[in-house]
Amino acid sequence: MSTVAAQRVVGGPQNASRGAIRIEDVVKIYDSDGSAVMAVDHCSIDIKAGEICMIVGPSGCGKTTLLNAIAGFHDITSGRILLDDEVLCGPGKPKAEPGPDRVVVFQNGGLFPWKTNLENVTFGLLMQGKMSKASVTEKALSMMADAGLTGVEQNYPGEVSSGMRRRIEIVRALMTDPKVLLLDEPYRALDSLTKSVMHEALLEIYYKNKVTIFFITHDLEEAIFLGHRVAVMTSRPCRPKKFLDIDIPHPRDYSVLTSKRFRELLEETGEAVHEEALKAFATGEKEG
Amino acid sequence: MRLHWLLLQLKSPRPYLMMVGFIMFFGMWYLTVEVWQLPRFREMPGITKVFQEWTSPNPVFGLSLYTEEYYKHIWVSTWRVIQAFFLATLIGVPIGLFLGWSPRFRQYIFPIFEMLRPIPVLAWVPLAIVMFIATESSVIFLTFLASFFATTLNTMLGAESIDESFPRAAYCLGANKRQVFWHVIVPGAMPYIFTGLQISIGVAWFSLVAAEIVAGQFGLGYVINTSYTMVSYPTIVIGMITLGIVGYTTSALVRILGERLMQWRERERAIGGSR
């Protein structure tokens, strides 16, 4: 069986030509006050272009550290990270440069409360100055409409629901046509009903835009529902403990949640996750 | 629209409660000084005497709503506060933003800043007089000082308070350092800046009066001080009440300006939303 056929069978990634991330043997040690704390321990993950890779682990296990390294917010101690064979950070260049090819959607929301929703969405392209304001606005309005966000363009983020804010933030990220979306537990604060709506909306956006998704969560159901692949991480220091291919075909909708296969996968992974959660609980790591 | 708002205000208990507060305050003044004539208040000018003097076309001590001089004192003081306040804002806001934004700048400046800040305005008076030969500039300098520290400190706290996600998001989306400063740091610090400006204008009045008592030739602080030496006690109280009213007005203007500039906060508040 060829690899392409194999991908079809597992409902594999879309045929994206860009956005492959290679995390090679990355180590991150925090040493701010002299007592070295290892957050990421020889971590290697290979993410295919156009894949939805879900990173699952208990809160505070060091997942966000990994994301920050890819995004370019933190340096790494050793190892390297590549995006489409281009070194983002590695020996001699410990910190990646943040840029519009890898856009982050933040845990607590990164929309600027002092800009209207439309101004938030147009922000990236206007700052880059490559397009005229009129064409940026046009693109923004059509992308917002596509995501079901009409009527709130002139509102401020503080005036719309948190679910809607998340959707706007994802649209804002996609405006700059990134290769990779880095999502840091974006739905953490949402109630489970809103969450389910958001999951379907994210998949819908994903099917329309060829983009690689690096998605951090502590919610295993979310991970299995959305991902092509789930990486269960160990608790501090953070390292992949188990990879799980999710062979439920895309496009998926909410009926997947009640399917037999979904339950099986949940069971298969549940134990590994629970084990790490217990460890994290025992060490009393602070969430974050 | 305006009328509707006025009617709403009249229906709510707020204006009445405010009136009750004022009546209680002035009533106590009247009772303690003029009715009970408590020993401690023996030398205090009574409320009726003060208001008679204040509204008299021929004031006994020379200052009332009908004298031109009264308005000249108000104007001189207000103009000094305005100059000092604008100067403090112009210098304090940028310094505060850089202090909060750039760790290096902060390491240079902040220790000095924190050492100068607790020095009371009155301790600066002799130096101010030596430095500026003209009284006018020394009074403005003294008024500026207190204002400046309040503005700078609050602006710094504002820049520091910005969630790190915001500059990160901006860099992610392709903004450069300068754009992050103008689009994230400045608006993000704005609520704190305006809190600072309200404190700043308050302490400007506070230090203005101190400066005018020592070195003024006009102004409400000067009025209060000379009235004291000339034993015209009702005029002291007129000066104090006037200071209260003018000070309140300037603070309110700053607050209204802030609300205008930060629509997003007003609208968030209006729907009771918190981020």
Q: Which residues of A99-115 are buried (b: 16+ CB within 10 A; e: fewer)?
A: bbbbbbbbbebbbbbbb
Q: Nearest to residue B247, comparing CAs of B212, B215, B203?
A: B203
pLDDT range class, residue A4, cuts 50, 70, 90 = very low
The beta-carbon neighbor of A156 closest among B166, B172, B264 is B264
| pLDDT over 60 (residue B238) | yes
* For chain B, percent of residues with pLDDT exceeding 90: 61
Q: What is the pLDDT of residues B58-102, one digit of tens each?
A: 888 888 899 999 999 999 999 999 999 999 999 999 999 999 988
**Which residue in B163, B164, B171, B173 has the most chain A C-beta atoms within 10 A of its own C-beta, making it the best mutation to test that interface?**
B173
Nearest-CB residue to A71 (from B172, B174, B187)? B172
Digit-coded pLDDT (tens) for A18-40: 888 999 888 888 877 777 788 88
Residues of chain A with CATH 3.40.50.300: 17-101+180-288
The third-level CATH classification (topology) of the domain covering B67-262 is: MetI-like fold (1.10.3720)
Task: Kindly report, residue by residue over B153-199, the tens digit of the pLDDT.
Answer: 999 999 999 999 999 999 999 999 999 999 999 999 999 999 999 99
Predicted confidence band of residue B203 (pLDDT cuts 50, 70, 90): very high
Residues 6+ apart with CB under 8 A from A79: A23, A24, A25, A26, A27, A42, A43, A44, A90
Task: Give pTM, 2 decimals.
Answer: 0.83
Please name the residue that has the structure tokens 């030398």: B43
Are residues B117 and B153 in contact, defined by beta-carbon separation less than 8 angstroms? yes
**Ordered alpha helix ranges (H), chain B:** 2-11, 14-29, 47-54, 68-101, 103-116, 121-131, 135-161, 165-172, 177-180, 186-215, 220-229, 233-261, 263-270
Distances (CA, A) of B87 to A217, B79, B95, B206: 50, 12, 12, 16
Using an 8 Å CB-CB cutoff, list chain A residues near B275: 109, 113, 157-158
A127 and B170: CB-CB below 8 Å? yes
Share of chain A above pLDDT 70, in %: 92
CATH topology for A17-101+180-288 is: Rossmann fold (3.40.50)
Specify which of A50-59, B106-115, B133-142 reaches the highest per-range mean pLDDT.
B106-115
> In the structure, what pLDDT confidence band is assigned to residue B272 with cuts at 50, 70 and 90?
low
Min Cα distance A128 → chain B (Å) is: 6
pLDDT tier for residue A2 given thresholds of 50, 70 and 90: very low
Q: Which strand ranges, in their side-by-side order, compose the sheet holding A37-47?
A: A37-47, A21-30, A78-83, A86-89
**Which of A65, A106, A108, A114 should be substituted to probe chain B, the one whose Cβ sees the most B Cβ atoms within 10 Å?**
A114
